[in-house]
């Protein structure tokens, strides 16, 4: 339960930031369906039966709470955060994983390119 509580605190921040960034000030300012689809922000929240990464059960066969928020600009820049609960038997005294990333991508004619930096804790 302790790991779920800590992960929920990680999950609330990215989700709240995404909602605040995309929420209209009042109902009259609500975006149309077309404008909402063009938002550069996206967010996810997941309750998974277990968290497996690279074939290793990071949540030790238990359910995992996961959340993420992403930003992708039309100019090619992107950034995001993702978190998941983990079991303290996998990482001693561990309760959550946090991944942050930032990058840039584009194309030069038919050739596409992307450079991304990832930080994992």
Measure the CA–CA gap between 63 and 65, rounded to whole angstroms.
7
Looking at the domain assignment, is residue 60 inside a domain? Answer: yes
Greater confidence (7 vs 82) lies with 82
Looking at the domain assignment, is residue 52 inside a domain? Answer: yes
Q: Which domain holds residue 57?
A: 2-21+41-120
Query: In the prediction, which pLDDT does 93 show?
Result: 84
Looking at the domain assignment, is residue 45 inside a domain? Answer: yes
Query: How many domains, the chain?
Result: 1
What's the pTM value of the predicted model, to 2 decimals?
0.66
Looking at the domain assignment, is residue 33 inside a domain? Answer: no
- Cα distances from 94 to residues 84, 102, 110, in angstroms, run 11, 25, 45
Looking at the domain assignment, is residue 29 inside a domain? Answer: no
The predicted-structure confidence for 63-118, as pLDDT tens digits, reads as follows 999 999 999 999 999 999 999 999 988 788 889 999 999 999 999 999 999 999 99
Task: Using alpha carbons only, give the angle 116, 101, 62 rounded to the nearest 5 degrees.
Answer: 125
Looking at the domain assignment, is residue 11 inside a domain? Answer: yes
Task: Using alpha carbons only, give the angle 13, 26, 12 rounded to the nearest 5 degrees.
Answer: 10
């Amino acid at each position: 339960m302790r790991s779920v509580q800590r992960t929920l605190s990680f999950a609330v921040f990215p989700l709240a930031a995404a909602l605040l960034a995309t929420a209209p000030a009042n109902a009259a300012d609500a975006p149309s369906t077309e404008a909402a689809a063009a938002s550069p922000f996206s967010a996810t929240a997941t309750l998974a039966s277990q968290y497996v990464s690279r074939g290793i059960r990071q949540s030790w066969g238990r359910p995992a709470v996961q959340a993420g928020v992403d930003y992708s600009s039309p100019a090619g820049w992107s950034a995001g955060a993702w978190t998941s609960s983990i079991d303290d038997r996998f990482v001693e005294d561990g309760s959550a994983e946090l991944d942050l990333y930032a990058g840039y991508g584009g194309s030069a004619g038919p050739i596409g390119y992307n450079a991304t930096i990832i930080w994992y804790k």
